[in-house]
Structure 1
Amino acid sequence: MRVLFSAAALVAATAAPAQTQLAPDPAPTPTVTPAATAPAYSATRILIASDSTAMTYGADRYPQLGWGQMLSCALQPGTEVINRAIGGRSTRSFIAEGRWDKLLAESRPGDTVLIQFGHNDASSNRPERYAPAATLYRDNLLRMIWEAKGRGLTPVLVTPPARRSFQNGKAKADFAAYSGVMRDLVATTGVPVLDLEGRSLALLDATGETAARKYYLHLTAADKAPGFPNGIDDDTHFSELGARALADIVAAELKGAKLPISDRVLADRPDLARKTPLGAGRCR
């Protein structure tokens, strides 16, 4: 039998089949990765950025010691002092040589950083060191403060220690402009300052100009000191007794600062109050 198709039916028969509408795949469930959290460190470490007055010296330089070398004698067991102080450095050269960046790289959140400069910043005859107090020195300290805070550290300024420098029978501050900048920064940054300068000046006044020689490097060839076979007269750098006395001042100031690290400072510090040296920078 012959079947006739209408034109409309023919068109419908030859048309492309309608596209099947498929339901979209369900959105994949996102994988939630817990946020990485920094390790929780306790305040048990002190880093020091400074110059020769705080530096750690070997036995071959005895009796020369820095206050940073003796600071651990004022701290509870388990408290670590990482002393990166080095002779001849100012804020300018400490930063320029990459020493500040290296200190930051080895730091960890919760650390305290003691920052003490001024002696070498004042060396106007040494352009690689010189940092005028009101300008470059101030800017360098601000950089150190904010970069330390940015890493979760606690920066603490330490005014430069006094030299055995007397005028009319009174100990005088040779770096007053630099310590003044530090004190001014307390108000603008909220960073604490340890007044090593003021307290060491008081120590010199109480001791007297002549007797204060014991705190500094005054030796003769007869003393047969390992690092000074020909003797030395130095009113800037410290003997063992001087380093102990200055470390005790820093410890007392740090104890009173009411910082997290303050709880690690011993209230009684007999190892620093000794009247006779022990040799080679030992605590006891």
Structure 2
Amino acid sequence: MKKIQVYLAGDSTVQTYEKDESPQAGWGQYIDQYCKRNIIFHNHAIGGRSTKTFVEESRLDAILEEISANDYLLIQMGHNDSSINRPERYTEPSTTYKQYLRLYIDGARKKHAIPILITPVGRLHVVHGKFINDFPNYCQAMKEVAEEKNVPLIDLNYISLNYFTSIGYEAAEKLFMISVDGEDCTHYTEAGAEKVAEMVAKELMEMISEEENF
């Protein structure tokens, strides 16, 4: 069976954590459990990075040096791009954020690889009983780039917030580190990361199946 290589560019919600950092986890460390065995994942995601700093630190270059024709590049960025109080990583959604996303897309396509955009996964944020998208401008900007560049998009923000709504706040809270440290409404426990990995895998498998004719 043909091996399919998938590269992940993302932040702390995607990255692979060491055992001593448990129970914090990222969805990138579990996604292989929900995909076919011939799909090999290379998780380059790392905490605290935005589209901008990931590029500036040559992390995108490292992926592009490895990636080959017909491989996939999954790009989930936005959490740290929105840090307006951190100018070193902030990007403005309608301008610089889009410009950096295009670098990932164009870089992958130059190597004849297949880019897939992923909107930033949802946080545990409820107002008047409703789960809130904390990154609406970034989600919209990413969708506009996806349409402009004809790139597949997984709307993980929408999918994850819908899931949290379906299970309710108390159950959703257990998926986040706030259930451990009483504070963190952004990062996931192992259970949460596994669930998000399942969400991404479902969408990814449908896209790969269309491309590869499984």
Q: TM-score, normalised by structure 1?
A: 0.72
Deviates further, 207-216 or 61-70:
207-216
In the alignment, the residues of structure 2 paired with residue 187 and residue 56 of structure 1 have an alpha-carbon distance, to the nearest angstrom, of: 30
In structure 2, the residue matched to 1:236 is 186
Q: Structure 2: which amino acid aligns with 1:198?
A: Y
In the alignment, the residues of structure 1 paired with residue 156 and residue 197 of structure 2 have an alpha-carbon distance, to the nearest angstrom, of: 9
In the alignment, the residues of structure 1 paired with residue 89 and residue 204 of structure 2 have an alpha-carbon distance, to the nearest angstrom, of: 28
Q: Structure 1: which amino acid aligns with 2:57?
A: E
1:61-72 correspondence runs (5 A):
61-72=21-32
Secondary structure (helix, strand or coil) at the match of 2:183 reads strand
In the alignment, the residues of structure 2 paired with residue 209 and residue 219 of structure 1 have an alpha-carbon distance, to the nearest angstrom, of: 12
Decide which of 123, 147, 152 is 1:163's aligned counterpart: 123
The answer to whether the Cα contact below 8 Å between 1:43 and 1:111 also exists between their aligned partners in 2 is no
In the alignment, the residues of structure 1 paired with residue 114 and residue 106 of structure 2 have an alpha-carbon distance, to the nearest angstrom, of: 10
In structure 2, the residue matched to 1:260 is 211
Secondary structure (helix, strand or coil) at the match of 2:186 reads strand
Instruction: Give, in angstroms, the shift of residue 262 of structure 1.
Output: 8.0
Q: TM-score, normalised by structure 2?
A: 0.94
The answer to whether the Cα contact below 8 Å between 1:44 and 1:79 also exists between their aligned partners in 2 is yes
In structure 2, the residue matched to 1:273 is none
Stretches of structure 2 that go unaligned for 5 or more consecutive residues are none
Structure 1 residues 18-37: Cα deviation after superposition (integer angstroms, max 9, x where no partner):
xxxxxxxxxxxxxxxxxxxx
Q: Structure 2: which amino acid aligns with 1:89?
A: R
Structure 1 residues 83-135: Cα deviation after superposition (integer angstroms, max 9, x where no partner):
00000000010001111001100111111000000000000111110001000
Decide which of 10, 15, 19 is 1:59's aligned counterpart: 19
Instruction: Give, in angstroms, the shift of residue 232 of structure 1.
Output: 4.7
Instruction: Give, in angstroms, the shift of residue 254 of structure 1.
Output: 1.3
Structure 1 residues 55-87: Cα deviation after superposition (integer angstroms, max 9, x where no partner):
000100111110111000012223210000000
In structure 2, the residue matched to 1:212 is 172
In structure 2, the residue matched to 1:92 is 52
Count residues in correspondence. Answer: 212
The answer to whether the Cα contact below 8 Å between 1:254 and 1:262 also exists between their aligned partners in 2 is no
Instruction: Give, in angstroms, the shift of residue 256 of structure 1.
Output: 2.7
In the alignment, the residues of structure 2 paired with residue 207 and residue 132 of structure 1 have an alpha-carbon distance, to the nearest angstrom, of: 33
In structure 1, the residue matched to 2:94 is 134
More helix by share: 2
Q: Structure 2: which amino acid aligns with 1:255?
A: M
Q: 1:142 to 1:250 in 2, by over 3 A?
A: same
Q: Structure 1: which amino acid aligns with 2:91?
A: A
In structure 2, the residue matched to 1:250 is 200
RMSD of aligned residue pairs (Cα, Å): 1.5
Secondary structure (helix, strand or coil) at the match of 2:185 reads strand
Q: 1:172 to 1:210 in 2, by over 3 A?
A: same
